[in-house]
Structure 1
Amino acid sequence: MKKSILIFYFLLLYAMLEMFWWGTVMIQLQPQRMAMVMGEGAVFLFLLGVGAYFIHDSIKREDKLKEQQQNFLMSVTHELKSPLAAIKLSIETIIKRDLDKEQQAKLLRNSLKDIERLDDLVENMLLATKIESKTYSFPKEEFDFSDLVTKITDRLQVHSCGYEQNIKTNIEEGITILGDKFALSSVVTNLVENAVKYSGPCAEVAVELCQNGGKPVLTVSDKGPGIPDDEKMLIFDKFYRVGAENVRKSKGTGLGLFIVKEVLQNHDADISVKDNTPQGAIFEVTFN
């Protein structure tokens, strides 16, 4: 980017110097045309300034997008390597060691969870690509949303904190909606996974589904670091992630909330982000 900006400003400076030089020559040759030269020069400077602003902004946005794409590729690589390494280790342990059935079953269950993580990642990438290229039609059907949320929270449940479950649920039964079951399952999965990811170890995540004024409302609350006010709307942009890339510890691709926003827009649903108390964030989805 620095090279492009330097070249751009060099050409801009050259154009301005040329304009002043020609203006000076013109005034010296025909002093009576000074007002016309200055007026046209002012218009030229204004148009040049406006054009320079938009070109500069375009270069910055393109560079930012390129940086986000590079970060995305690094994040995807990391997201793929971690579960693959865990699966490989589990299988090698089963093959090389004489384990009893219970130990083997535990390793296989862990491997299955890692495979599900990989599956979620691939589904996110495919869905994001289809949404952006406008090739996804969002086929809608009436289905039990309560059952869907229950199954997803059960699958994402963390049992590594003693006897305490990481995800606390309060799901009203029998809530049905008309929508794309596959796409909405991605919405729920991304919201709950984000809440678990950004919360501290064994911190409680709350998932609630209820009817409010006849409208289904899904709420996912975490006790993580929270989201600054100036970033609450930016988090739904593609590849955007909270905080500086070089100090960020949490994993992710920056696609999850982009998919959430796009899917909910196609379901005439609203999502809001609020601060949790004493810390964390609350994502509230309302289906109209």
Structure 2
Amino acid sequence: MILIIIVTFIVIIALSRLITKPLIKMKEETEKLSRGDTKVELNEHYNDELGVLAHSINRLAEDLERVKQERNDFLSSIAHELRTPLTYLKGYADIAAREQTDKKERIKYLKIIKEEANNLSSMIQHLFQLAKMDENTFKIEPEKCEVKPLILQAKEKVYPLISAYGADVQVECPDNIFVYADPVRFTQVMVNLLDNAIQYSGESPSVSLHVKPQRDKVTITVQDEGPGVPEESLPYLFNRLYRTDKSRSRNSGGSGLGLAIVKEIVEMHGGRIGVSNQGGLRVEMLWPKEGNV
């Protein structure tokens, strides 16, 4: 009996150490994660729940490291994007303030200052919207609404751009086509897409917008006749601050945030959006007819 008790005691101690040692290690590694240290390496070779837990903690560490890197890259990009217009504002303001600057040149520089201030204001507004989306405080109020009036309203909003570029924007949308969407956000999406298509379609832009009903979705396609984008850039067009041509985008006022917001809004409605090169850049969206948000 004494021998049995001793052997049992030894076995219990051995099993306890075998079980508790990896648990203590996991506890230490999770404490490192809570301090922001994502360099975690746990043994995943256990063929039981401990192995599954170790695998989950390792994946969590990898995801946190990726999010941390994306955050740092995003903040770095934002700092760069904000620094550029601010540099322009300061430089042109200094030139305009010089006594030897004549009236014509001063008006020219003040116009540039106004344009850069507008670009900066637009970028900050986009960043504010993206921040609200990340915090899940960006609200939509979807309802059943007719597509054609909203698209014509969006076209009217971009009329100054259409006039400035001499663009031809054709809309093909049957009457009595309805989607389940927040009308304000739907219009915002269409304005962004039309704006993007007009600006990057080259000289005398030609843009077509087609609406086609399906069984439970509505397909909306925005097609331009520009040069399109490189095939390797297509998967990244909806990434925040991504540009295929940084200099051209900046000169035309782009911030690389508009398409990211478009994608977020479409997906918040339960829709989908994609891009392809088909004689220019083709953006295709699927909007739900019924409420499934």
TM-score in same-fold range (> 0.5): yes
- The answer to whether the 8 A contact 2:194-2:222 is kept is no
TM-score normalised according to structure 1 size: 0.60
CA shift in 2, pair 1:192/1:223, >3 Å = farther
Aligned to 2:101: 98
Quote the sequence identity (%): 21
Distance (Å, rounded) in 2 between the aligned partners of 1:8 and 1:256: 39
* Deviation (angstroms), 1:203: 7.0
Question: Following superposition of structure 1 onto structure 2, how do residues 192-271 of structure 1 map, counting pairs within 5 Å?
Answer: 202=202, 206-213=206-213, 217-221=220-224, 222-228=226-232, 232=235, 236=238, 239=240, 241=242, 255-267=257-269, 269-271=271-273
* Deviation (angstroms), 1:177: 7.4
- The answer to whether the 8 A contact 1:191-1:220 is kept is no
One-letter amino acid of the structure 1 residue matched with residue 276 of structure 2:
K
Q: Secondary structure of 1:208's match?
A: strand
The structure 2 residue matched to 1:148, chosen from 147, 154, 162, is 154
CA shift in 2, pair 1:147/1:190, >3 Å = closer
Aligned to 2:3: none
Count of residue pairs brought into register by the alignment:
238
CA shift in 2, pair 1:45/1:174, >3 Å = closer
* Deviation (angstroms), 1:207: 3.4
Q: Alignment RMSD, CA only?
A: 4.4
Q: Secondary structure of 1:62's match?
A: helix
Aligned to 1:67: 69
One-letter amino acid of the structure 1 residue matched with residue 282 of structure 2:
I
Q: Secondary structure of 2:209's match?
A: strand
Distance (Å, rounded) in 2 between the aligned partners of 1:180 and 1:263: 9
Structure 1 unaligned runs (5+)? 17-43, 160-164
One-letter amino acid of the structure 2 residue matched with residue 129 of structure 1:
A
Distance (Å, rounded) in 1 between the aligned partners of 2:256 and 2:65: 17
The structure 1 residue matched to 2:88, chosen from 86, 105, 116, is 86
* Deviation (angstroms), 1:80: 1.3
* Deviation (angstroms), 1:79: 1.5
* Deviation (angstroms), 1:115: 2.1
Aligned to 1:127: 129
One-letter amino acid of the structure 1 residue matched with residue 71 of structure 2:
Q
TM-score normalised according to structure 2 size: 0.60
One-letter amino acid of the structure 1 residue matched with residue 58 of structure 2:
H
Distance (Å, rounded) in 2 between the aligned partners of 1:158 and 1:82: 28
* Deviation (angstroms), 1:122: 1.4
Q: Is 1:275 the counterpart of 2:274 in the alignment?
A: no
Distance (Å, rounded) in 2 between the aligned partners of 1:140 and 1:50: 41
Aligned to 2:110: 108
- The answer to whether the 8 A contact 2:274-2:285 is kept is yes
Q: Deviations over 1:149-184 (max 9, x none)?
A: 3433644x797xxxxx49653346998977545534
- The answer to whether the 8 A contact 1:273-1:284 is kept is yes
Q: Secondary structure of 2:230's match?
A: coil
CA shift in 2, pair 1:213/1:241, >3 Å = same
Q: Secondary structure of 1:273's match?
A: strand
Structure 2 unaligned runs (5+)? 1-32
Distance (Å, rounded) in 1 between the aligned partners of 2:54 and 2:257: 32
CA shift in 2, pair 1:153/1:124, >3 Å = farther
